[in-house]
Amino acid sequence: MRATSEVGKMKFGIFFELSVPKPWSERSEHQVYFNALEQAELADELGFDQVWAVEHHFLEEYSHCSAPEVFLTAVAMRTKRIRIGHGVMLVLPPFNHPVRCAERAAALDILSNGRLEFGTGRSATWTELGGFNCDPDLTKEMWDESLRAIPKMWTQEIFSWQGKHFSVPPRCVIPKPLQKPHPPLWVAVTSPETAIQAAERGIGCLGVSVGTPKEYEERVKAYRRVIRECEPVGEFVNEQVNGVTFLYVDENEEEARLWGSKLVYTFSLLAAHFTGVSSIYPTPAYKVPGLLFALRREQEQRSSPTAAASSDGGIIREGMAIGTPETVIKQIKLWEEIGVDRMVFLLNAGEVIPQEKVLRSLRLFAEHVMPKFDAEAARARDSRARAAR
């Protein structure tokens, strides 16, 4: 059984890190959380398909989203149809016991009326791994073991497990998710190697590193090729690919690039603090640091003479959904052409963009960009119907 995206229809979502810039006041985090909830409510009303939230720990300023299941439950209570995405839950036992992962995710699926997308991951920084005394060299096998166990917790009446990194005596793991047999499974992908690992296990490819369509293209091709022969860890195959980039839309191109460059620069600046910690990772197990390494590389590229000559310092790259609606449509088509099914967008970083502008950007995207892809989906459906006659 395979979960597939609708052919010809690009789906859109939003993605939260919940970054809180210093200096902090007593209500700084409160403001960021409730701004994000307002954005999620509007996205639901406008017809966006998904909202995702990360799990990070100890990454002050960059991400204050350490309890995403709580935030996402608040989102679920305020929305009606948008899919609710763990992007991702850290399923390593030192962070979250796999039974607790299964329990909390199932409860969220119930409270959201069956809207959960279950993304998994291994953590992104030594700041987090070290904070939980988690051996970086063991994270891949911990993730794999948890990933194989959690779907069984959801589908088996009595579950037991005797593994290398955790064990559970025969127990009934409750509650069970509303979606049957279970919610779609994903993994955070920051490298070509992780994309292959996702495909081998029959789970969705959740891009969480900001790159260009050209950089993603080979990764998507390899994922599509390998997943055809996969051995799924769950009860069905989720063969969807999510890309991620920044979003800022304005009727005026210069205005859009002004605010868009502030968004990209601020996000990069917040993330860059953690790129220098213990030379990223103190272990060969993390040779490709992914998102944070990519941001450091982008900063180096922006300091080049060619980038400096650009009006925005070279910070706005191909594939970023920044510009007028017409510009953004062209950028998203680049993702569509390489086979990405969904695009999720970072809307703000460090509250550098005023809330009213973020909401206006979402409205412009929904009014002028989304209908373009809905119309193409309708044409694709008509074409398939004619071919079937």
- Residue 241 φ/ψ, nearest 5 degrees: -120, 125
Indicate which CATH number applies to the domain containing 204.
3.20.20.30
Q: Is 2 a domain residue?
A: no
Q: Is 314 a domain residue?
A: yes
- Structural domain for 84, as ranges: 8-380
Residues in the chain: 389
Q: Is 388 a domain residue?
A: no
Angle at which helices 28-46 and 68-78 cross, to 10°: 50
Which of 124-138, 199-213, 294-308, 346-360 is predicted least confidently? 294-308
| Integer CA distances (angstroms), 364 to 12, 15, 86, in order | 14, 18, 26
Q: For residue 247, what are its two tokens? A: 């979003």
Q: Give the total number of structural domains in the chain.
A: 1
Q: Is 26 a domain residue?
A: yes
Q: Is 387 a domain residue?
A: no
Q: Is 3 a domain residue?
A: no
Which of 5-9, 59-63, 286-290, 353-357 is predicted least confidently? 286-290
Nearest to 330, CA basis, from 341, 314, 319: 319
pLDDT digits (tens, 9 = 90+) for 211-259: 899 999 999 999 999 999 999 999 999 999 999 999 999 999 999 999 9
Q: Is 294 a domain residue?
A: yes
Q: Is 386 a domain residue?
A: no
The residue ranking higher by pLDDT, 341 or 312, is: 341
Q: In terms of pTM, does the model score above 0.85?
A: yes
